[in-house]
Amino acid sequence: MRLDDACDIIGVATVRHPATRQPCIQGTREEAQKLYRKLALLHHPDRSSDPGATAKFQSVGEAWERVQQYYDQGFGFEATNAEPVSSYQQRGGSWRDQFASWWGSGQAGYDFASEGAAQCGADCDCTFCRVAKRRTERAKKHEHEEAEKKQRADEAWAAATERHRERAAEAKAHARAQAEAKVAAKEAARLAAEAEAAAEAARREEELRRERAEAAARRREREAAAKRLKRQRQRLRALCIYAKLGSEDDVEKIGAWLSVERMTSLCDELEAAAGATATADAGNAAATAAAPTVGGSPLPPGLGDSHKRRVALVRAAVAAAAEAAAAAEATAAEEQARRNEELAGRAAAAARAAEEAAARPAWTEQERELLAKAIKKIPGGVPNRWQLIAEQINHLCGEASHGRTADEVLALTKALRRELEGKQRAGTEEAMRKELAQTREPPRPSTAPAAPAAPAAPAAPAAPAAPAAPSIATTAATTGVAGGGAGGEDVPDVWSAEQQRALERALKAHGASAADRWDRIAEEVPGKTRAECTRRYKQIVAALKAKKAAAAAAAAAPAS
pLDDT tens-digit profile of 411-469? Answer: 889 888 888 888 887 877 777 777 666 665 454 454 444 444 444 444 434 334 333 33
Residue 136 pLDDT more than 80?
A: yes
- Tell me the β-bridge partners of 23: 16
Residue 187 pLDDT more than 90?
A: yes
Residue 99 pLDDT more than 70?
A: no
* Mean pLDDT to the nearest integer, 348-369: 83
Among 3, 1, 9, 8, which residue's Cα sits nearest to residue 22? 3
Determine, yes or no, domain membership for 337.
Answer: no
Q: Are residues 9 and 103 in the same domain?
A: yes
The answer to whether 237 and 254 are in contact (CB under 8 A) is no
Q: Which residues contact 29 (CB under 8 A, 6 or more apart)?
A: 68, 71, 76
Q: What is the pLDDT of residue 203?
A: 93
pLDDT tens-digit profile of 208-237? Answer: 999 999 999 999 998 988 888 888 888 888
Domain C-terminal end among 110, 126, 142: 110
Residue 480 pLDDT more than 70?
A: no
Higher pLDDT among residues 203 and 558, named by residue: 203
Domain C-terminal end among 66, 86, 110: 110
Output helix, strand, coil percentages for the chain, rounded to the nearest 5: 70, 0, 30
Determine, yes or no, domain membership for 542.
Answer: yes
Q: What is the pLDDT of residue 81?
A: 33
Q: What is the pLDDT of residue 76?
A: 46
Q: Are residues 11 and 95 in the same domain?
A: yes
Q: Are residues 86 and 14 in the same domain?
A: yes
The tally of domains found in the chain comes to 3
pLDDT tens-digit profile of 307-316? Answer: 788 888 888 8
Domain C-terminal end among 60, 83, 110: 110
* Mean pLDDT to the nearest integer, 487-506: 72
Per mean pLDDT, which range of 200-209, 286-295, 343-352, 405-414 is the poorest? 286-295
Please provide residue 373's backbone torsions phi and psi, each rounded to the nearest 5 degrees: -70, -40
The answer to whether 135 and 5 are in contact (CB under 8 A) is yes
Q: How confident is the model at residue 277 (pLDDT cuts 50, 70, 90)?
A: low
* Domain of 67, in residue numbers: 3-110
Percent of the chain residues topping a pLDDT of 70? 74
Q: Where does 43-117 have alpha helices with state H?
A: 53-72, 94-99
Label residues 65-89 b or e (16+ Cβ within 10 Å = b).
ebbeebeeeeeebebeeeeeeebee
Q: What is the pLDDT of residue 280?
A: 52
Q: Are residues 421 and 497 in the same domain?
A: no
What is the rounded CA–CA span in Å between residue 509 and residue 503? 10
Q: Are residues 29 and 72 in the same domain?
A: yes
Determine, yes or no, domain membership for 177.
Answer: no
Determine, yes or no, domain membership for 302.
Answer: no
The CATH number that applies at residue 372 is 1.10.10.60
Q: Are residues 433 and 475 in the same domain?
A: no
Q: What is the pLDDT of residue 475?
A: 40
Q: What is the pLDDT of residue 188?
A: 93
Determine, yes or no, domain membership for 388.
Answer: yes
Determine, yes or no, domain membership for 277.
Answer: no
Mean pLDDT, the chain, integer: 75
Burial of residue 440 (number of CB atoms within 10 Å: 0-12, 13-18, 19+):
middle
Q: Are residues 423 and 499 in the same domain?
A: no
Residue 367 pLDDT more than 80?
A: yes
**Helices 472-479, 530-556: crossing angle, 10 deg rounding:** 90
What is the rounded CA–CA span in Å between residue 300 and residue 51? 183
Determine, yes or no, domain membership for 103.
Answer: yes
Q: Are residues 499 and 557 in the same domain?
A: yes
Q: What is the pLDDT of residue 131?
A: 79
Burial of residue 434 (number of CB atoms within 10 Å: 0-12, 13-18, 19+):
middle
Determine, yes or no, domain membership for 288.
Answer: no
Q: Are residues 421 and 367 in the same domain?
A: yes
Q: Are residues 365 and 419 in the same domain?
A: yes
DSSP 108: T
Is 185 strand, coil or helix?
helix
Counting other chains too, the contacts that 557-560 makes at CB distance below 8 Å and 24 or more residues apart are none
pLDDT tens-digit profile of 101-131? Answer: 333 433 333 343 344 444 555 566 677 777 7
Q: Are residues 429 and 510 in the same domain?
A: no
The DSSP bridge pattern shows strands 23-25 and 14-16 to be: antiparallel
Q: How confident is the model at residue 145 (pLDDT cuts 50, 70, 90)?
A: very high
Termini Cα distance of the chain = 100
